[in-house]
Structure 1
Amino acid sequence: MTQITKRHLDFVQEAKEVFEAAPLLETYRNDDDTLIALRMGMDRDCVEVWELGNKIANFVQQMDPYPMPRKVVREFSYDMEKQLEANENKGGWKEADFEYLQRHLRINANKLNHALSKADKDKHEITIRCTNIANYAMMIADNEGEHL
């Protein structure tokens, strides 16, 4: 097992700064190509460090490019997933007709308008309504639309 040294810890800090400055960057190497940092984790907030040996090859354009969604989009999508999980007992949406999904989208939009009109806004309720609206819109797009 390799012992973690100050050099490794300094490199983690360096990689953190580079990753924060370039949110789409997935790997980072030090100047002398002896260490590589990989952006890891479900939230892409972890840094895995490897010591490098000899380079074998650089295999370019092996995968379709995939842009990293913005932080707010990722966080909102996690909230959407939580709401889908909370309502999993209702079954899927593949068999639901457009009118049913649209009606529930409107119900949630009306509830959102009501929550936003209150002087003492319930931020949790507002997020629930927004995620439900987004989920119903996603269901309609999944059933009736196509990817852009």
Structure 2
Amino acid sequence: MTVQITKRHLDFVEEARKAFEESPRLESYRSSDESLLALRMGAYRDCIDVYNLDGGVANFVQQLPPMPAPRKMIHDFSLLMEHQFPKMFSIENKELGVLEEVSGFLISELNKRDKDKFAITRYCTMIANCAMMIADNEGSQEL
């Protein structure tokens, strides 16, 4: 079924965008006459799917575990990490010596611990959280 996008649809997208921005945990939004539904979508929760509602089926509540949106600081930090990851250990990387020194220290600390993968992952996330807090307090506002 092909649907022609109208000004009403575009106005609803803008209305839904504002609602999602005001409530970061909101995942869906209905028009006041309940004829349109907007769903927050995408890997970064930055897309809006709009559906015409010809009639409801049911409201299936609490079917998924709650997945709150990450804080903006965490989101921005993780995007920068993802961007830098492919070139992190490239020969051109001028900070390679510092990275090797820091990673060597961390590996030596991990070698003092049990080889429990969950414990190692938890330890590494604590280190990443400390690095993120330093970046938030001392680094640039723009990542």
Match status 1:75 vs 2:54: no
Question: Residues 101 and 78 from structure 1, CA distance in 2 versus in 1: closer, same or farther, beyond 3 angstroms?
Answer: farther
Question: Once the 2 structures are TM-superposed, how far is the Cα of residue 145 of structure 1 from its aligned partner?
Answer: 7.1
Residue number in structure 2 paired with 1:14: 15
Question: Residues 3 and 141 from structure 1, CA distance in 2 versus in 1: closer, same or farther, beyond 3 angstroms?
Answer: same
Residue number in structure 2 paired with 1:47: 48
Residue number in structure 1 paired with 2:104: 100
Match status 1:60 vs 2:61: yes
Question: Once the 2 structures are TM-superposed, how far is the Cα of residue 46 of structure 1 from its aligned partner?
Answer: 1.9
The one-letter amino acid of 1:76's match is F
Question: Residues 144 and 60 from structure 1, CA distance in 2 versus in 1: closer, same or farther, beyond 3 angstroms?
Answer: same
CA distance in 2, matches of 1:57, 1:79: 40
SS of equivalent residue, structure 1 residue 68: coil
1:142 to 91, 98, 121: 121
Corresponding residue pairs, total: 105
CA distance in 2, matches of 1:56, 1:9: 25
TM-score (norm 1): 0.59
SS of equivalent residue, structure 1 residue 77: helix
RMSD: 3.2
TM-score (norm 2): 0.61
Question: Residues 72 and 38 from structure 1, CA distance in 2 versus in 1: closer, same or farther, beyond 3 angstroms?
Answer: same
SS of equivalent residue, structure 2 residue 39: strand
Higher RCO (CA-CA < 8 Å; seq separation 6+): 1
Question: Once the 2 structures are TM-superposed, how far is the Cα of residue 144 of structure 1 from its aligned partner?
Answer: 4.9
CA distance in 1, matches of 2:77, 2:125: 21
CA distance in 2, matches of 1:10, 1:143: 45
Question: Once the 2 structures are TM-superposed, how far is the Cα of residue 49 of structure 1 from its aligned partner?
Answer: 0.8
Question: Residues 143 and 59 from structure 1, CA distance in 2 versus in 1: closer, same or farther, beyond 3 angstroms?
Answer: closer
**Structure 1 residues without counterparts, runs of 5 or longer:** 90-98, 105-139
